[in-house]
Amino acid sequence: MSHEASYKSLRRSMILMLILVSLAPLVMVSAVLGNRFHTSYKEKALAHLDEVLLKHKQTIDSFLDAKVAEIRVLVDVTPFKAFFDPQTLESLLLSLQDRHHGVFVDLGVVNAEGEQAAYAGPFLLGSADYSQAHWFQAAMRRQVYISDVFLGVRGLPHFIVAVRKKYEGRDWIVRSTIDFAAFNRLVENVRIGDTGLAFIVNKDGEFQTKPRMDISSELPKLMALIKSRGKPGAGRWLSRAKDASGVWSCLFESPSTGQEYVVLMTELKGGEWTLVYQQTERDAFQDLYRSRIAAIVIVLLGAAAIVAAALYVSQRFVNHLRRLDREKEVLNEQMLETGRLASVGELAAGVAHEINNPVAIMMEEAGWVEDLLEDENPWENEEEIRRALSQIRTQGGRCREITHKLLSFARKIDPTVVLLDLNQAVEEISELSEQRARYAGVQIITDLASDLPEVRASASELQQVLLNLINNAIDAMDGRDGRLTLTTRKVGEDVQLEVADTGRGIPAANLQRIFDPFFTTKPVGKGTGLGLSICYGVIKKMGGDITVSSKVDAGTVFRIRVPGAEDTHVPAGKDAQSRTSA
């Protein structure tokens, strides 16, 4: 049904509209706020990591500085001669170990040739030769040197703090081994979240601390990043690629696991070492991702609620509309029925008179027979009695014909659409209206085309249209001795009916409103104003058109055009007929 289709499309556009209008702000607000939150939260989280890293950088730097300073103080304040005394050296070491929780592992003095002159410590190194050691060569060039971590002659990871001192015209180096474990702990403690990992590498990519996890596979890529020093294009540097505090940060994808890491790095020991901190992005921005999931869940729930509401509201609206439409339909039907009753009433006035006449004749004839039977010898009048009886029969037949016609019309409205012969309908109704026309002094002329295709219509509705138009025409000509012409023609594929009267016409001002319901120029109580609006409705329903043209005091023509049914063939041999009745 086209009704259902229009309801559906209405509902669809309503749902779309509601969802669009409600979802758009929701999505926009959450996108904008989410983006803002995302950016600022990331900045904050990075700033926090920066802070942590800087603190540790300071701690490590001050640790190293403190160790160097300690040795320098030792060298400065102790008579250098005492370093060569194993007893004194041993007590110095013990004191250092005691005050520094065992950070200093051993203490030794090396001459300019790299030979160890004195030693105190657990390794009983005696006179080791350091002349080829990298740290020794570096220490000889500088006043103070902290070595990289190396395995050394003892095969244990350690690093050396060396201080050069001039004594008796010769260069001497006082060196101490720093406990790797104690140093390592400083860095290991830098641990945030589950995956936070800190370590120190030197320029050659050698670990200076022992990372908690094996990251050797990622090291080459990391070194490339470290060497690039935040150069654009070398890595996915975050917005604060190198901030004032000397921390670089970037995103880094692990070649082995494919995980995304946030990497922060800063220089240590004047650029010789780099302190690296890495953490998986997921871990670093965990709170962000959690709140993002919460936001998405809320948005989705909201969207679901909106969709549900849109469905519900539109369903209710459409249901309401459907009910209204149904009520309107019922009202229309009632209106049609009312208009029908009105036209039937009008018709009845004529028909009543028509029936009344034969009844009166029958009663007169019956009375006449009674009169004759009162005679002494009634059979003298047999001829006359027979004539009267046959007249009664004739008049009875007339009554029956009239009642049949009326009954066929007055049946309840049947909107079933069937194939109809318009000519036949015109003839029926014009016959029915003849009596009324005769007393109004109107002559009905029918001019019906023989090649008329059938039309699809409800018989009772079509009858009503014709009756309304004929009644109106007769009313318009009351007391004017007019002519009512009913013409049918085939126009293209359409069937056309013209109802033309020679009545008083319709003023132009009323012509516009003539098909409006309840518009009438008849006095109150005479017309319902429904007739023509019903005609209009019926013809439109048939897919046709009804138009009117009128000239005041000359007459009015109503022209109806309805589509002819395609598959109709006109019965042959039915010639054009023109019938005139007075």
Partner 1 sequence: MNEHAMKLLVVDDERHFLETLVKRLGRRGFSVRGADSGERALEEMSASPADVVVLDVKMPGISGLETLQRIKADYPLTEVVMLTAHADMEAAAEGMEFGAFDYLMKPMDIDELVYKIEDAWRRRSLRGLKIQQMRSRARTSPDET
Closest distance of CB 572 from partner 1, Å: 39
- Of 391, 433, 464, 487, which one interacts with partner 1 (CB under 8 A)? 391
**Tokens read off for 398:** 């007339």
Residues with Cβ < 8 Å from 147, sequence gap 6 or more?
134, 135, 138, 159, 160, 161, 162
Choose the stretch contacting partner 1; rule: CB under 8 A; options: 128-136, 169-177, 349-357, 540-548. 349-357
Q: What angle do CA 451, 455, 458 make, to 5 degrees?
A: 145
CB of 575 to partner 1, least distance (A): 31
d(CA 485, CA 503): 12
Least gap, CB of 522 to partner 1 (angstroms): 16
CB of 358 to partner 1, least distance (A): 8
Which CA distances in Å does 313 have to 4, 10, 18, 309? 18, 12, 9, 6
Residue 352 in the binding site for partner 1 (CB under 8 A):
yes
CA distance 578 to 582: 14
- 356 near partner 1, judged by CB under 8 A: yes
Which range binds partner 1 by CB under 8 A, 18-26, 73-81, 123-131, 361-369?
361-369
3-state SS track over 90-153: HHHHHHHHHHCCCCEEEEEEEECCCEEEEEECCCCCCCCECCCCHHHHHHHHCCEEECCCECCC
Nearer to partner 1, 7 or 439 (CB): 439
Output the smallest distance, CB 388 to partner 1, in A: 7
Query: Closest Cα partner for 60 from 141, 137, 149?
Result: 149
Counting every residue written for the chain, the total comes to 582
The residue from 359, 399, 410, 420 that contacts partner 1 (CB under 8 A) is 359
Site track 160-199 with partner 1 (rule: CB under 8 A), x = hit: ----------------------------------------
If binding is defined by CB under 8 A, does position 368 make contact with partner 1? yes
User: From the CB of 437, what's the least distance to partner 1, in Å?
Assistant: 10
- Report DSSP letters for 303-314, one per residue: HHHHHHHHHHHH
Q: Which is nearer to partner 1, 174 or 362 (CB)?
A: 362
- The residue among 103 and 361 lying less far from partner 1, judged by its C-beta, is 361
The reply on whether position 365 binds partner 1 by CB under 8 A is yes
Least gap, CB of 539 to partner 1 (angstroms): 32
Query: 10 Å Cβ neighbour count for 139?
Result: 25
Residues that bind partner 1 (rule: CB under 8 A) add up to a total of: 21
Long-range contacts of 101-104 (CB under 8 A, 24+ apart): 101/182, 102/179, 102/182, 103/67, 103/178, 103/179, 103/182, 103/183, 104/67, 104/70, 104/176, 104/177, 104/178, 104/179
367 binds partner 1 (CB under 8 A): yes
461 contacts partner 1 (rule: CB under 8 A): no
439 binds partner 1 (CB under 8 A): yes
Footprint of partner 1 on 35-74 (CB under 8 A): none
Cα→Cα distances 321→1, 45, 307, 308, 370, Å: 16, 56, 21, 20, 69
Binding mask 523-562 for partner 1 (x = CB under 8 A): ----------------------------------------
Residues engaged in binding partner 1 (CB under 8 A):
349, 352-353, 356-357, 359-365, 367-368, 371, 388, 391, 395, 438-439, 441
